[in-house]
Chains A and B, each alone.
Chain A
């Protein structure tokens, strides 16, 4: 893509539409790649090869899985609320795609500059919880209900420290636009906010893992306890959409982390989109690594961690950021 061509598209709507198409392509491709990466990393951590036979090194496995999921029968359980049941997967997937718009891939490739980009991302991620709720309630299944209840409490609990950590960084940078926050950092690690404010980085990572329902915080879909939690009753593409939404969510939070804490597109040399993607994938690898190492925390321990540890620490961090900003600015 020629940057000049995009800039020469004076009409903002054209730019937005092109950007959306690009975002959809990015999300789709990345979700497939991420599924492959997760299964390969899981395999190698467990001393086995992972997908190997479908395509070279199993690269076509996610594609074949998607075809299989599309081909399955869509079963609606008896007694379930059809509207809620089938709204839930769509509601899980749709908002996440919007969250990709404010991500600062590259200053020259911005489809739209939103001065409240951070708030947009946080707001739309909150809609994901609603979809879990609808899925669990609408399935007319006790397992789903338990999963939905857990999901709501977990998401609410971890929103607070997440917001506080993000606010601390926004305060230091003086803006809610992800492009500006990234521009305030530099290419070298000591210029990143992750190094200047490591507590916020740590809190953000923990909350991000909890918000995306990834192990060790994957209680809503705890496989060994709740059969499959909120998505027990889904088959075929319903499950596929939840699956895709989870991976897209992971990419969004990794993107936000890379932008806020790791300097975004900036690198020591040749700054650009490739650095941003590299940083996203490093964080994604770390999140996947976490999943395959640790057991699950118990529900009340999860809430304890959030309310008794992360929220006070996040408040402390926010206060420190206020003081530092006040002294500096």
Chain B
């Protein structure tokens, strides 16, 4: 390899290094792009797929549209939804008590209990798709954090009532 080629090689090599330094130098002088949580927050959470929540009826916001059909329970790949509703009375039951059983139950059109185990959920959306009355939607809760696993057992009926109560008394 001739000396001229060596010199040329060295020159292109050094030039590429200097160009690289210029790019990082320019980046050094620019402001950072980090959104420093918790002082700042991102602004696009309205499309974020957080855990599912119930949708209330238009005239009664604290009552879910859910008809306790059990379609979401069947559709979930991880079996994380539990819907309990009152079972029909059988002989042998004491008068006045109501037993709860997994949806669907005959004659039951509202859920008595709607639990989601978020620690198993994979946010696939099959439950929301399977619901015949569109009673499930995604919340935008992006900051679920806890020291206790039990905080991830979500009681969606309680959540709906809380949301309806907040809507009634906006602060």
Contacts and interface: CB of A to CB of B under 8 A. Distances in A.
A41 B17 CA distance: 18
Given A52-B36, A292-B24, A293-B24, A47 B17 contact: no
Contacts of B33: 47-48
B66 to A, nearest CB: 44
Interface in B27-86: 27-28, 30, 32-34, 36
B124 interface: no
The main secondary structure of chain B at its interface with chain A is helix
Interface residues of B, number: 14
A47 B24 contact: no
Contacts of B34: 47-49
Given A48-B34, A49-B32, A294-B17, A289 B27 contact: no
A45 interface: yes
A49 B36 contact: yes
A290 B17 CA distance: 9
B92 to A, nearest CB: 64
Contacts of A47: 27, 30, 32-34
A309 B14 CA distance: 13
Contact of A294 (B20, B27, B28, B30): B20
Interface string B81-112: 00000000000000000000000000000000
A21 to B, nearest CB: 36
Chain A, interface size category, equals 10 to 19
Nearest to A293: B24
Interface string A276-314: 000000000000011011100000000000000100000
Contacts of A43: 32
B149 to A, nearest CB: 28
Nearest to B23: A293
Given A45-B27, A47-B27, A293 B32 contact: no
Contacts of A309: 10
Nearest to A49: B32
B128 to A, nearest CB: 36
A108 interface: no
Chain A CB within 10 Å — which of B17, B27, B28, B34 has the most? Answer: B28
A68 interface: no
Nearest to B14: A202
Contacts of A82: none
A44 interface: yes
B152 to A, nearest CB: 28
Contacts of B32: 43-44, 47-49
Contacts of B30: 47
A47 B25 CA distance: 11
B21 interface: yes
A44 B24 CA distance: 9
B51 to A, nearest CB: 29
26 contacts: A41-B28, A43-B32, A44-B27, A44-B28, A44-B32, A45-B24, A45-B27, A45-B28, A46-B27, A47-B30, A47-B34, A48-B32, A48-B33, A48-B34, A49-B32, A49-B34, A52-B36, A289-B21, A289-B24, A290-B21, A292-B24, A293-B20, A293-B21, A293-B23, A293-B24, A309-B10
